[in-house]
Amino acid sequence: MALERVIRYAAGMSAQIDPFHAISISGLAHRLKAEGRQVIHMEFGQPSTGAPKAAVAAAHAVLDTDAMGYWESAPLKARICRHYAETYGVTVEPAQITLTCGASPGLVLALSATFSPSDVIAMARPGYVAYRNTVKALHMVPLEIACGAETRFQLTAGMLAALDPAPAGVILASPANPTGTIIPGPELEAIARVCAERGIRIVSDEIYHGLGYTEPAHSMLEYAPDAIVVNSFSKYFSMAGWRLGWLIVPRAEASRAVAYMGALFLTAPSLAQHAALVAMDCRDELEGHLATYRRNRELLLEALPAMGLEKIAPPDGAFYIWADVGALTDDSLGFCKQLLQDTGVATAPGIDFDPVDGHRFIRMSFAVSTPEIEDAIRRMIPWFATARAAAGA
């Protein structure tokens, strides 16, 4: 009955979208930088590196020779298909792929083309802020399920099996934002089985694939061929500003996804498509970025105990540390602002990712250079010591 009341309430009101507080932190960081402060940007989940050099060179050549226009690259779609065959051992046809203006529009397409207003979409809490907000903006109902350390901050098959009634869909992310945790293959398989039995459609956000430190991430397509996959060139391929992603849907739903893409966004950026095709074969350079993130992760994991931050999610992938600062504050937004003001290190408040318990968590992105991570650690260790002393922790 409680869930039914939530559905009726959500369906009868305008969407109330929560602000992304990390944006205000970033704004403060840029103001401090303009004042001459040395700021280390660890608030956003974006690589500090640019697109691969060969991709940039290809883009320059295209700018000189091609007027461009509305276009969807058949060679790029074919190359993505090859990627799925080589990486996951699954067959994807070009017709199943829709190129999008980044993963965020891809999520809008996945939800709007698959579900209806008032449909309930389950997701983990903590989770990426756009999941909750996009679902709400489309007048669907986000069902955030509390996930703690005992399940590595991830949904499980048992959680989905216990929901009554079953939701229309579920959003999964592995590696996840903000925790970096990966769902092991056997658990993904169990989730796929529960969802098939209960008629729950799966939307799998695989934007952090390629960024793993403990075990490779599995695509949901290995276990659920009818899953909808959202991915992007923003993270592993270091092309956040190029605004290019892709959506994979079952062949029977491909025409609907194409229709929604055309109606809402026309096509993905032409220049980005040309560059991305080249970027997919720049593995040596991209693996170099991964080696930097791996080293940054090691440095932070070594330093966190000295900051008193020992309650963290295991960062299996992506480039985040999700740290419990509950012994120091119950106001993660104010805490992040003070940390930034005092040290010049920008981090993200946990309330962006968990509106219930996020007041006692912060997220650090280590997708910056190793010298910046070393500098951030030097600044934060004494600051956290002072904070612990003030809190009596």
pLDDT digits (tens, 9 = 90+) for 137-184: 999 999 999 999 999 999 999 999 999 999 999 999 999 999 999 999
Contacts of 9 (CB under 8 A, 6+ apart): none
pLDDT digits (tens, 9 = 90+) for 307-365: 999 999 889 999 999 999 999 999 999 999 999 999 999 999 999 999 999 999 999 99
Q: What stretch of H or E contains 246?
A: strand 245-248
pLDDT digits (tens, 9 = 90+) for 208-261: 999 999 988 999 999 999 999 999 999 999 999 999 999 999 999 999 999 999
Peptide bond into 167 cis (omega under 30): no
Q: What are phi and psi of 308, to 5 degrees?
A: 80, 15
- Give domain limits for the chain: 2-50+284-387, 68-281
- The answer to whether domain 2-50+284-387 and domain 68-281 are alike in fold is yes
- 64 neighbors 231 (Cβ within 8 angstroms): no
Single-letter amino acid code for the residue at 369: S
- Cα–Cα distance, 254 to 293 (Å, whole number): 36
Task: Tell me which architecture the domain covering 68-281 has in CATH.
Answer: 3-Layer(aba) Sandwich (3.40)
Q: Which of 262, 280, 279 is nearest to 98 (CA)?
A: 262
User: What is the side-by-side order of every strand in the sheet holding 361-365?
Assistant: 320-324, 361-365, 348-349
pLDDT reported for residue 9: 47
Contacts of 346 (CB under 8 A, 6+ apart): 25, 26, 28, 29, 39, 40, 41, 42, 43, 336, 340
Does domain 2-50+284-387 bear CATH number 3.40.109.10?
no
pLDDT reported for residue 66: 87
Contacts of 141 (CB under 8 A, 6+ apart): 6, 7, 10, 11, 118, 119, 120, 121, 135
Contacts of 305 (CB under 8 A, 6+ apart): none
- Cα–Cα distance, 383 to 393 (Å, whole number): 14
pLDDT at 1 over 50: no
Percent of the chain with pLDDT over 90: 88
Structure letter (DSSP) for residue 19: P
Three-class secondary structure of residue 122 per DSSP? strand
pLDDT band at 14; cut points 50, 70, 90: low
- 339 neighbors 345 (Cβ within 8 angstroms): yes
Token duo for residue 103:
């993963």
pLDDT at 19 over 90: no
- CA angle in degrees (0–180, nearest 5) for 312-39-305: 25
Token duo for residue 72:
């969807």
